[in-house]
């Protein structure tokens, strides 16, 4: 026995060192995890994604990209808020975790989730902000959530089951509460903090300090603001999510949002009242009305994003000040993308790029080299396995994603996915977006609209038609492509274990007569 081992054994026998303390000290230090999650945040609104419209500068989110890795093809499996959150927690598709839609969904908190598994391996866990899964959170040492969608100003919240009132702007409050928990955490343990914002969700109500942030700028318009949907499926034609038809008085700020106090209302009216009066005097119609709504929408939505970016900056600053940055995995993402006027739309839901693609920025200085850009297809479904992998926890075999850790280390496996299965269910409200499923590759999307009185297919080719305004499904030149993608779609449906029609409850509404089913048409 070496002298050092002899000395240690003597110290151990003397009771001066506990064996479990020595074993813990010998283990590699597990990383902390800070998960910053916005609602309806889209790549077009983050300057590090380099979108050509250049709508906004987001220096703090850009810092994560600059000091870590930007993922350019992070895709969702069901482009809507609650189902995406359930997928992140479980690492499973909607049809396996049971949360299909926002209309009648209720998350089953008894199922396995990654926060529960992190607790089992010694992590402190906290969830602060938007939950939106109806049931109470499980797997967290501490939770402080918005009920339902929450409100932007002076939001009531629920803290570990107890209702509490707050004064202030929701993004600032969620950040304050997140920092408070970090300061008071058990410092002997690694931690998971899920800081989940309401912003920039509809009705896009900004922090009062950001009113007028753009100086009444006329924001650059997307090329498809006045898309006429020529040659497209009825599903696309019959939507109810356009700036020309679906923009409410609350969206337009002709009606004030809930919970403003008198002092806040004074600031609100100072900005919006004269501009609303000018609108009524000029009374724009047609395309001029759409343009007015687009610019009002951009002012409000992007102002909400500014608030989220400031929150990111505050959290990054805390990690630096506390000496935690080096071994903290910071992940910034969203539940899906969002339309910023593309196709004349707001909202999400569709398999189209602005909706199905979501931001993903990752920093972990101890592991991830600065300035990386990853173009492979990844998914929200991968987050659970990634967090478990970096923590050294066992990954359940029934999770359906893959750990992103090899990609973060620039060690991509040869068998990384080249396609992803997508399925959206909720219909007919809100927005009358038909249920559809499909396969997404680096270039193509093959999509089937199937409910209730429709049975149509579209093929999108992002290489020839990056704006996604054409349907190539019936083009003879694409016959082999359609055949190949149909085979891949069938393979993916078997792989993810969704080969049967969904239950009627998946759509969140009453049954529809004469409806098509996902298996009703084959090419």
When the pLDDT of each residue in the chain is averaged and rounded to a whole number, the result is 93
Q: Is 42 helix (H, G, I), strand (E, B) or coil?
A: coil
Q: Name the pLDDT band for 6 (thresholds 50, 70, 90).
A: very low
Instruction: For residue 422, give the H/E element and its range.
Output: strand 419-424
- How far apart CA 22 and CA 31 sit, in angstroms, is 19
Q: What is the mean pLDDT of residues 371-394?
A: 98
Predicted TM-score (pTM) above 0.85: yes
Buried b (16+ CB within 10 A) or exposed e, 62-100: bbbbebbbbbbbbbbbbbbbbbbbbbbbbbbbbbbbbbb
Query: Which CATH number is correct for 33-206+301-421, 3.30.750.24, 3.40.50.800, 3.40.920.10, 3.40.720.10?
Result: 3.40.720.10
Does residue 512 surpass a pLDDT of 70?
Answer: no
Residue bearing tokens 């909400």: 304
User: CA of 43: how far to CAs of 212, 256, 410, in Å?
Assistant: 23, 28, 23
Q: What is the mean pLDDT of residues 493-518?
A: 77
Return contacts of 498-503, CB within 8 angstroms, 24+ apart: 498/93, 498/95, 498/421, 498/423, 502/95, 502/100, 502/423, 502/425
Q: Residues 334-345: pLDDT tens digits?
A: 999 999 999 999
Q: What is the mean pLDDT of residues 237-263?
A: 96
Q: Residues 454-479: pLDDT tens digits?
A: 999 999 999 999 999 999 999 999 99
User: CA of 498: how far to CAs of 356, 478, 494, 495, in Å?
Assistant: 19, 26, 6, 8
Q: What is the mean pLDDT of residues 496-511?
A: 87
Q: Which of 27-36, 266-275, 466-475 has the lowest mean pLDDT?
A: 27-36
Does residue 2 surpass a pLDDT of 60?
Answer: no
**Portion of the chain with pLDDT greater than 70, in percent:** 92
What is the rounded end-to-end Cα distance, in angstroms, of the chain? 73
Pairing of strands 69-75, 357-363: antiparallel
Q: Residues 45-88: pLDDT tens digits?
A: 999 999 989 999 999 999 999 999 999 999 999 999 999 999 99
Q: Output helix, strand, coil percentages for the chain, rounded to the nearest 5.
A: 35, 15, 50
Single out the residue of 110, 112, 125, 99 nearest to residue 32, CA to CA: 125
Q: Name the pLDDT band for 510 (thresholds 50, 70, 90).
A: low
Comparison of pLDDT for 3 and 285, the residue scoring more: 285
Q: Which of 170-174, 315-319, 500-504 has the lowest mean pLDDT?
A: 500-504
Single out the residue of 196, 253, 269, 232 nearest to residue 458, CA to CA: 232
Three-state SS string across 268-286, please?
HHHHHHHHHHHHHHHCCCH
- How far apart CA 458 and CA 375 sit, in angstroms, is 24
Domain boundaries, the chain: 33-206+301-421, 212-223+238-292
């Amino acid at each position: 026995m070496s002298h050092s081992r002899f000395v240690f054994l003597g110290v151990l026998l003397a009771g001066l060192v506990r064996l479990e303390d020595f074993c813990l000290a010998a283990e590699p230090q597990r990383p902390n995890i800070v998960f910053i999650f916005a609602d309806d945040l889209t790549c077009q609104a983050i300057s590090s994604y380099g979108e050509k419209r250049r709508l906004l500068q987001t220096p703090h989110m850009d810092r994560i990209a600059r000091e870590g890795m930007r993922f350019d093809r992070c895709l969702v499996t069901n482009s809507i808020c609650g189902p995406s959150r359930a997928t992140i927690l479980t690492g499973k598709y909607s049809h396996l975790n049971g949360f299909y839609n926002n209309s009648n969904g209720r998350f089953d908190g008894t199922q396995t989730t990654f926060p529960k598994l992190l607790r089992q391996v010694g992590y402190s866990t906290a969830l602060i902000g938007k939950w939106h899964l109806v049931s109470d959170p499980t797997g967290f040492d501490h939770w402080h959530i918005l009920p339902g969608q929450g409100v932007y100003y002076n939001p009531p919240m629920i803290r570990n089951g107890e209702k509490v009132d707050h004064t202030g702007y929701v993004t600032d409050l969620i950040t304050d509460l997140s920092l408070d928990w970090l300061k008071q955490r058990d410092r002997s343990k690694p931690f998971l903090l899920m800081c989940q914002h309401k912003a920039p969700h509809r009705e896009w109500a900004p922090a009062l300090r950001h009113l007028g942030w753009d100086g009444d700028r006329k924001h650059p318009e997307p090329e498809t603001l006045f898309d006429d949907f020529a040659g497209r499926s009825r599903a696309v034609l019959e939507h109810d999510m356009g700036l020309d038809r679906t923009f409410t008085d609350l969206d337009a700020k002709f009606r004030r949002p809930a919970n403003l106090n008198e002092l806040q209302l004074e600031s609100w009216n100072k900005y919006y009242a004269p501009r609303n009066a000018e609108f009524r005097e000029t009374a724009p119609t047609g395309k001029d009305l759409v343009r007015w709504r687009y610019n009002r929408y951009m002012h409000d939505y992007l102002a909400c994003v500014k608030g989220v970016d400031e929150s990111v900056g505050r959290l990054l600053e805390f990690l630096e000040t506390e000496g935690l940055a080096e071994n903290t995995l910071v992940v910034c993402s969203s539940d899906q993308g969002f339309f910023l006027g593309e196709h004349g739309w707001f909202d999400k839901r569709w398999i189209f790029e602005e909706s199905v693609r979501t931001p993903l920025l990752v920093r972990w200085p101890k592991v991830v080299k600065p300035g990386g850009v990853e173009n492979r297809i990844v998914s929200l479904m991968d987050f659970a396995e990634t967090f478990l992998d970096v923590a050294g926890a066992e990954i359940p075999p029934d999770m359906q994603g893959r750990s992103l850790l090899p990609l973060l280390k620039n060690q991509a496996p040869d068998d990384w996915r080249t396609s992803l299965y997508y399925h959206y269910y909720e219909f007919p409200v809100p927005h009358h977006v038909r249920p559809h499923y499909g396969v997404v590759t680096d270039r193509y999307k093959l999509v089937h609209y199937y409910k209730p009185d429709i049975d149509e297919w579209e093929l999108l080719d992002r290489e020839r038609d990056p704006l996604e305004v054409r349907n190539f499904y019936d083009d003879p030149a694409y016959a082999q492509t359609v055949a190949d993608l149909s085979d891949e779609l069938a393979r993916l449906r078997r792989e993810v274990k969704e080969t049967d029609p969904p239950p009627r409850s998946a759509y969140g509404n009453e049954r529809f007569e004469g409806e098509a089913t996902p298996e009703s048409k084959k090419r």
